[in-house]
Structure 1
Amino acid sequence: MFLSCLLQPLRAALLATVLIGAGVPAGIAWAAPDAGSAATLTPQARIEKASRALDAVKRAVNDADAQETLKTLVDQASQAQRDAEASVQALQPDLEALDARIALLGPVPEGGEDQDIARQRKALDKQRSDLNSDIARGKLLAEDARQQSESIEKMRAQLLGEQLGRKVASPLSPTLWREFAQHLPDDLSRLQSLGQQARDGLSRATAKHGWTVPLAGAVMALLMVFPLRLWLRHLGRRYAASERAPAGRVRRTGLAVWLLLVGTLLPGLAAKLLVGSLDAISAIAPRLVSVADTFVVATFIAAFIAALAACLLVPTRPSWRLLDIDDLAAVRLRRFAWGAAWLTWLTMLMRAVSRAALTSNVGTITLDGLIALTYVGLIMSMLATLAALHRRRSAEAAQAEQEAEAAGKPHATRGSRSGWLVVARLGGHLAVFGALIATLLGYLNFAMFTAQQMVWVTVVVLATQLLMKFADDFALWLLAPESAIGRTLRLSTGLPPGRLEQGGVLVSATLRVVLVIVGITAVVAPFGNVSVLYDWVQALAGGVRIGGSVLRPSSVFWAIVVLLCGLALMRVVQRWLTETYLPKTDLDTGARNSISTVAHYTGIVLAALWALATLGIGFEKLALLASALSVGIGFGLQAITQNFVSGLILLAERPVKIGDWVKIGDQEGDIRRISVRSTEIQVGDKSTLIVPNSELITKTIRNMTMANALGRIQIQFSVPLGTDVGKLRGLMLDIYAANETVLSEPAPSVFIDSINGGLVAINSFAYVPSARSVYGTRSALLFELLQQCAANGIALVTPTDIHLVRDPQP
């Protein structure tokens, strides 16, 4: 008897569901013409419309006693606030234009003014007064709507707390079932009346319009759910397994996202198509409109849960599985996921039917208690499956460790449990324990809410994890250096592969942050109004006022685009200068580098100014910013500023240039690069000496190739006084002439530097083409000099040894 009484309302609910199908909510269909006409309304008319809507919300809020009703009122109040704020923004340009026209008239002269001008001034003043009144009214209306939304949100939170804390008789007590049996005949009568309305509406509609449209909608819906959905799933798997699919992890996560989209959208779209065909002939009874709305939402949610489980678990294809579980656990969890999807669908639909039929509270409470117990049983089954998975993994790890020890091989220590598995089991046990205790104590609403939130949070977390993996894989593949897009960007812009990979990481991080925010919003949606988040997004899209400027996301986006385009154009111009134009001029390497460097930094400055202008920051604001930062630049950035200015002086005055051989302190080498901050000098050991530009400006530097590129060799030595110095002079000149590096012009020269202490000091000079050749050529000349002197019997004086001899002590 009890079972038949329980199944009868379920059969009535399913009958109403079959009759109405699933379709576009009537509220959305009715709101579409209003949304289209709202675009043609004047700002004043929109303010008036928002005022009427807010008044209707205030009148309805006193009679609202359900979460759904309060949520609808919050949405209407938020929409009124958005309309008022948009109207105020639309009126601001008109007010500024009127102010500009009034300013052109100037003040009223003391002797009066022409009548035409006076009439124009009076008309403009009246228009301005009316605009000010409309703007003030719109601002006041927006603030009133915001306060009303906050007040209704507090009422929702209070009502939710009261519902969760409401206590009834325990399911173990006969009192609950006695009350349920007393109200059951009346509830069945209400359900039968609702079913009769559904049948009457369908009969009248088909008698008038026929069965063609509903049957066509039903056939197309079935085609979408079964053949089309299965074919699209097969198409996605075949493409992912082919060679045309992208390489890497994106192949697997992309297939999972495709299966999720196909499995979610096609059942929901099929339901909308079915109810659209019913609505086209007016076959949905007025009291069943809310059931139709719930049916659509329930279909999408149930399809989403089932599709998410299918794309994550993949019981028949372990290589494509994204979760780290074995085949047995995948099969069982897939069944439980289907059970959760069907249970969620039936729960939402039965609740909607119960509200439409106006059944008793005890019937609704009893139904919620049974659903809560069903959820608890489902969650316990999932936890048992996860526990068995943990035991199997522990056993496998222990067996592998024993085999490794028996073979005398080192074994890798592997954790027997995953982090997500531990969290899932802990959260599941807490939810089950809380729901069971709440059910036994009579808090059926709390038990129902806890069980549903456990399932919903699990679904949201898994979906967010899947989408984050796909976003990461897709962004890294899209901007990979070897991908088609990455190769195109690298060849067209000259970006190094590392920069492309950095871009992919940044895009991935941005997408992951957005997905986390969306996931958190989905988790907290049952506790509050999700439209508040969209209000923040819309306010952010409208712009953030900073001082006298409004910073909008669109402006930031276009500023970034402009900056990237400017930098790309700068690189093109610089490459044309260095590779095409400057090589055809008579300028040396240093002058070419100076021009290229100045063009480089000029392009960066112009691109930055262009981007700032796109943001709406004019040159006058930049001047104010520069004056405000002047003190900080003078003290904190003094060294950097000094090096920057010194670099500009070096590029303009060119006391040193690329290719010069300079000596600074005890270091000398070739100048390889001059930038606006420092200069790079390559010394003899091939290392690079980085010198701040201020050092090259303020200190003494020896530039051995500035005015003359020749290098001078000086050789000094001494010979005894009796040496034939004429012969020695000819020998030295012959040695110089025999060396190919020594120049004939200027000619080598040999001098007697001094005669002192029985020694003749010889000093000779020769020139080579470059200062860089001095050291090696001088060494070769000294080798040759020693050999020739030894062959010609010319003695070179060696240092004198001095020996001190002491007299013996007496």
Structure 2
Amino acid sequence: MPLLTSAAPAATSATQTTPQKVPADTNGGLGWSAVADTINHQLEDSSATLKQIFTTLNRADTNIGSSELDDLSARAQRVQQNTQDALTQVQSYDDITDSYLKILGPKAADNEDSSVTAQRARLQQNSQAVKSALMRAKLYSLQAQQLNSAVATRRTRLQQAALSQRTISPAAPKFWRALLTERPENRSSLHPGGVLADWMMLLVGGIGTLVLVGVISPFTLKALSRAGARFRTSAESGVKDALANSVLAITLNGIVCAAFNGIVWLIWSAAALDVEGGPIALTLGESLPVCGFIIGAGLPVFGRKGVLAAGNPGERKALRGVDWMLALSILSLNLLRAFQTQDVFGPTLQTLLEIVFSLTVGICAVDIFRRLGNQDDTRTFAPTALGLSSLVFGISLVAILLGYVSFAFSLNGWLLSIGTGLAIVILLGLCWRSVLDHVFNSEGRFSVRLHALGLSSRRLTQISVILSGLGNILLLLLLFSIAQTDGSFSMADIGNRLRLLFVGNTIHGVKISLDTVVLCIGLVIVAYYLIRQTKHWIRDRFLPTTQLDIGATTSILSIFTYCSWILVGLGILSIAGLSVQNLTWVVSALSVGIGFGLQSIVQNFVSGMILMAERPVRVGDLVEIAGAKGDVKRISIRATDIGLGDGSTLIVPNSQFITSSVKNCTTSGSTSVLTVNFKVPSTADLDKVKSLLIEVAAQRPEVLSNPAPSVKVSALSNFNLTMSLSVRIMSARDGGNVQDAILFDVFRRFGSENITLTTA
């Protein structure tokens, strides 16, 4: 990693290059002197943090764990964000300074005023300081990005090494001989000054806290029931209905027990342990609230008077004590992780404890799902779960016998964390849904007050659905953070992972974070309503005051909509930190796609822009294209909708209006010419036929008198000739009806005159 090793010297030299401070001057300083000290201090802090991260990563005698790597990654992320903010701020001063220097020129002109010369000198001095700060910010941003990549690489290697690490198989006698030789090393942590020097107080405090929460849990459940949190057993209704009605009481009881566990442990650690308590005490402080939540939420379900008590006794017997087993498993998992990080025991004893944990968790899972498979209500999923748990147990057993204990421990720990996290997330999601249903109930007091403010029931339902979706998204992020902890259920690790999701990461110069995504989504929502309201104002308030036709108004509204969304898209790209350089690979991919598969789409898009700007066809025109005739109803960016006479809609790609012949019946005006051809026998009186045709056409009220109808001879043959009757009508859309009326009148009039005519 040559680029990374050169980061520390570069940071040192950059730190020593301190720009000259310029006296505050509102005319020549352009405000740089007011922020120079703050930016330089921020850059110096970033430099010191980067050197600390670099030193930690490259120290040979340091065993860096996963939690410490997460902390280093978070620090590098903060530095990268701070330097990006400083870079944006300094860049603006650099642009302003360069603009002023271009106006003043590089050198003094003849007979130049002394104030202008002094101002140029101050600006040049400020420009050097600004460019120095700009260079440092760019350098530190690059170093932070490199260090973040190095931390990610180190974490990947650590995970791979942990999974592929092979120890002595417990089936070999050498394993047990090594365990006996480690007795002094294992006892050293129990001596004064060791990690487990206060092991008795830790053990008494941990067991006492769990026992107390088990004793107090029934009383807290009764108190919550009296306070209004409904709790029903399956004797009153079915098991599913009882769980649905009691989910709020179950969750609240778990939360109360978790808080109780945390408070009891804080009191005990303050009274019986040292001020800090050590890493094991810290692990217990993080784990006991989770265990309290599991036990507190498990009592209303699996207890003697729980939801399952009056239901199927086989189910309760199969799941009896599962809450305590799950809580103790989570506690054991976190303690073993802490023992491994702090090197509390020797490697052989640590391996033995991991073996015992993996086998115990696997046996318990197989036994629980085996007992559930005999029950009627759980036969749908219990056999599948039994098969999967048996498969995991078999894989773990084979891995342990081959010496891959770390793999078996990580596998069981990760599955235990995911299963526990999934159960907690589902419970919290159901509780959140129950709270929203109670708050936004149409007959509730809160909803009644909102109705008085003008909010309808439909709007309250929408708010409830939106809040439910947001809560589910946050819970899914929590589950994702649990899945990223590599088998640890430490609240500190989960919180750090969750924080990183909000703070975000920078990948190839693009900042990806939850707050950026939420801001972009919010911008789209606000832009949608703002564009819609502005469009309605232009259409309903402004355009009616003009004399523009419907085609022009439609084009204006369409162009306004598309331009507005383009600006919104550019704003989203700016917020996300995307630039032309970041989008180079996207543009390259799109160019290839356009060359092969997107030609017609781009062609229709460009044709749509031409139609809106040039307007050869407008909304409301009567057009004829490809043998179809109808009114133009809508012109979009890709296609045009044409309403046909039978009530259907013909969707025509815009490119056809540019590349093919189109007949626009209304582009020259509202009136239209209707021509009807007749075949007249050569033996007939042609002058009389001509006068009769003109007379019949002139009697129709739809035919305009100016210009008057006319008849012309358009073709001759041996036995007949063709006469064309041309009339001007008010609208081309009435052509079919007028032609039918004229033909009916001609048939009736010429029949009375005994003259035979046929249409050509």
Structure 1 position 337, deviation (Å): 1.0
Q: Deviations over 1:240-261 (max 9, x none)?
A: 99xxxxxxx99987974x5564
Question: Given the alignment of the two structures, is residue 608 of structure 1 paired with residue 553 of structure 2, yes or no?
Answer: no
Q: Secondary structure of the equivalent of 1:714?
A: strand
Paired position in structure 2 for 1:424: 385
Bigger relative CO (Cα 8 Å, ≥ 6 apart): 1
Q: CA deviation at 1:425?
A: 0.7
The 1:267/1:294 distance shift into structure 2, 3 A limit, reads: farther
Between stretches 634-643 and 568-577, larger displacement belongs to: 634-643
Structure 1 664/94 Cα, relative in aligned 2: closer, same or farther at 3 Å? closer
CA distance in 2, matches of 1:559, 1:340: 44
- The CA deviation at 1:633 is 6.4
Q: Provide the secondary structure at the position in 1 that maps to 2:273.
A: coil
Say whether the 8 Å CA contact 1:240–1:251 is kept in structure 2. yes
Counterparts of 2:743 and 2:408, CA distance in 1: 102
User: Which residue of structure 2 aligns with residue 302 of structure 1?
Assistant: 291
Cα–Cα, structure 1 residues 563 and 731, in superposed 2: closer, same or farther, change >3 Å? same
Structure 1 residue 670 corresponds to structure 2 residue 659: no
Aligned to 2:16: none
> Are the equivalent residues in 1 in contact too, given 2:715–2:723 (CA < 8 A)?
yes
Bigger mean CA deviation after superposition, 261-270 or 359-368 = 359-368
Cα separation, partners in 2 of 1:773 and 1:721, compared to 1, 3 Å: same
* Structure with the largest fraction of helix: 1
Tell me if the contact between 2:201 and 2:272 (Cα under 8 Å) persists in the aligned partners: no
Q: Which residues in structure 2 correspond to 1:26-41 (within 5 Å)? A: none
Deviation at 1:340, TM superposition (A): 0.8
Q: Does 1:272 align with 2:262?
A: yes
Q: Which amino acid aligns with 1:293?
A: L
- Output one character per residue of 1:419-448: Cα deviation in whole Å (capped at 9) or x when no partner: x42332124335666888999999999999
SS of the residue 1:591 aligns to = helix
1:224/1:270 contact within 8 Å kept: no
Q: What does residue range 128-147 of structure 1 map to in structure 2 within 5 Å? A: 146=151
Which among 678, 681, 687 is matched to residue 716 of structure 1? 678
Q: TM-score, normalised by structure 2?
A: 0.62
**Cα distance in structure 1, aligned partners of 2:715 and 2:84:** 96
> Whole-Å Cα distance in 1 between the matches of residues 383 and 353 of structure 2?
32
Q: Offset at 1:266? A: 2.0
Deviation at 1:755, TM superposition (A): 9.6
1:386 and 2:391 matched:
no
Q: Does 1:544 align with 2:507?
A: yes
Distance 2:718 2:478 in 1: 94
Distance 1:151 1:118, change over 3 A: same
For 2:651, the aligned partner's letter is I
- Give the direction of change, closer, same or farther, for the CA distance of 1:543–1:734 in structure 2 (3 Å limit): same
Amino acid at match of 1:601: Y
- Tell me by how many angstroms 1:723 deviates: 5.7
TM-fit CA distance, 1:610: 3.4
- What is the Cα deviation at residue 331 of structure 1? 1.5
Q: Percent identity?
A: 20
Amino acid at match of 2:756: L
Cα gap change, 1:616 to 1:720, in 2 (>3 Å):
same
Is the alpha carbon distance of 1:690 and 1:725 closer, same or farther for their aligned partners in structure 2, counting shifts above 3 Å?
Answer: same
> Could you report, residue by residue, the CA deviation over 1:667-700 in whole angstroms, capped at 9, with x for unpaired residues?
3222222234333323333333333434334544
SS, match of residue 488 in structure 2: helix
The answer to whether residue 750 in structure 2 is matched with residue 796 in structure 1 is no
Call closer, same or farther: CA 1:523–1:779 in 2, change over 3 Å.
same
Q: Which residue of 2 aligns with 1:293?
A: 282
Amino acid at match of 1:300: P
| Conserved? CA contact 2:319–2:368, under 8 Å | no
Report the secondary structure of 2:633's partner residue.
Answer: strand
1:331 to 313, 316, 320: 316
The partner residue of 2:551 within 547, 572, 590 is: 590
- Looking at structure 1, the residues matched to 146 and 615 of structure 2 have their Cα atoms a distance apart, in angstroms, of 68
Report deviation, 1:779.
2.3
Q: Secondary structure at the match of 2:646?
A: coil
Query: In the alignment, residue 290 of structure 2 is paired with which amino acid?
Result: I
User: Per-residue deviation at 1:500?
Assistant: 12
Structure 1 counterpart of 2:444: none
1:288-312 CA-partner distances (Å, limit 9, x unpaired):
6556434434423323444565688
Moved more, 753-762 or 121-130: 121-130
Cα distance in 2 between the residues matched to 1:53 and 1:265: 38
* Secondary structure at 2:674 match in 1: strand
Specify whether residues 229 and 782 from structure 1 end up closer, same or farther in structure 2 by C-alpha distance, changes over 3 A only.
same
Residue in 1 aligned with 2:162? 157
Distance 1:476 1:797, change over 3 A: farther
Aligned length: 674
Q: CA deviation at 1:718?
A: 2.4
Distance of aligned partners of 1:228 and 1:781 in 2 relative to their CA distance in 1, 3 Å threshold:
same
Match of 1:782 in 2: 743
| Alignment RMSD | 7.1
Q: Quick one: which amino acid aligns to residue 672 of structure 1?
A: K
CA distance in 2, matches of 1:351, 1:707: 87
Q: 1:7-156 counterparts in 2 under 5 A?
A: 44=44, 146=151, 153=158
Aligned-pair CA distance for 1:576: 1.8
Q: Deviations over 1:47-105 (max 9, x none)?
A: 6588679979999967x8xxxx9667666766776687678778868997999999979
Mapped to 1, the partners of 2:549 and 2:138 lie a distance apart of 71
Paired residue for 2:730? 769
Alignment of 1:193-592 (within 5 A): 227-232=219-224, 238=230, 256=247, 258=248, 261-278=251-268, 282-285=271-274, 292-306=281-295, 309=298, 327-341=312-326, 343-344=328-329, 378-379=364-365, 381-389=367-375, 392=376, 417-418=379-380, 420-430=381-391, 456=417, 458-463=419-424, 514=477, 517-522=480-485, 524-525=487-488, 534=497, 537=500, 541-546=504-509, 554-555=515-516, 557-592=518-553
Q: Whole-Å Cα distance in 2 between the matches of residues 52 and 756 of structure 1?
A: 105
Q: Distance in 2 between matches of 1:578 and 1:133?
A: 49
AA aligned opposite 1:301: V
The amino acid that maps onto 2:291 is A
How many angstroms apart in 1 are the aligned matches of 2:661 and 2:415?
77
2:631/2:643 contact within 8 Å kept: yes
**Residues 159, 292 of structure 1: alpha-carbon distance in 2 compared, 3 angstrom cutoff:** farther
Give the 3 Å change call, closer, same or farther, for CA 314–608 of structure 1 in structure 2: farther
Distance 1:237 1:261, change over 3 A: closer
* Distance of 2:338 and 2:606 partners within structure 1: 79
Contact 1:57 1:73 in 2 (8 A): no
5+ residue gaps in structure 1?
A: 1-39, 202-216, 242-248, 394-415, 493-498, 800-810
Which shows bigger deviation, 447-456 or 294-303?
A: 447-456
Displacement of 1:164 in angstroms is 7.9
Partner AA of 2:285 in structure 1: V
Q: Residues 47 and 160 from structure 1, CA distance in 2 versus in 1: closer, same or farther, beyond 3 angstroms? A: farther
Q: 5+ unaligned residues in a row in structure 2: which ranges?
A: 1-39, 109-116, 234-239, 441-446, 456-461
Give the counterpart letter for 2:162 in structure 1. A
Q: Following the alignment from structure 2 to structure 1, what is the Cα–Cα distance between the partners of residues 611 and 141?
A: 61
**Secondary structure of the structure 2 residue equivalent to 1:335:** coil
Q: Per-residue displacement from partner, 1:538-569 (whole Å, max 9, x unpaired)?
A: 797253343xx766664554344334433432
Write the distance in 2 (CA, Å) between the matches of 1:615 and 1:45. Answer: 26
SS in 1 for 2:756: coil
Change (3 A) 1:702 1:520: same
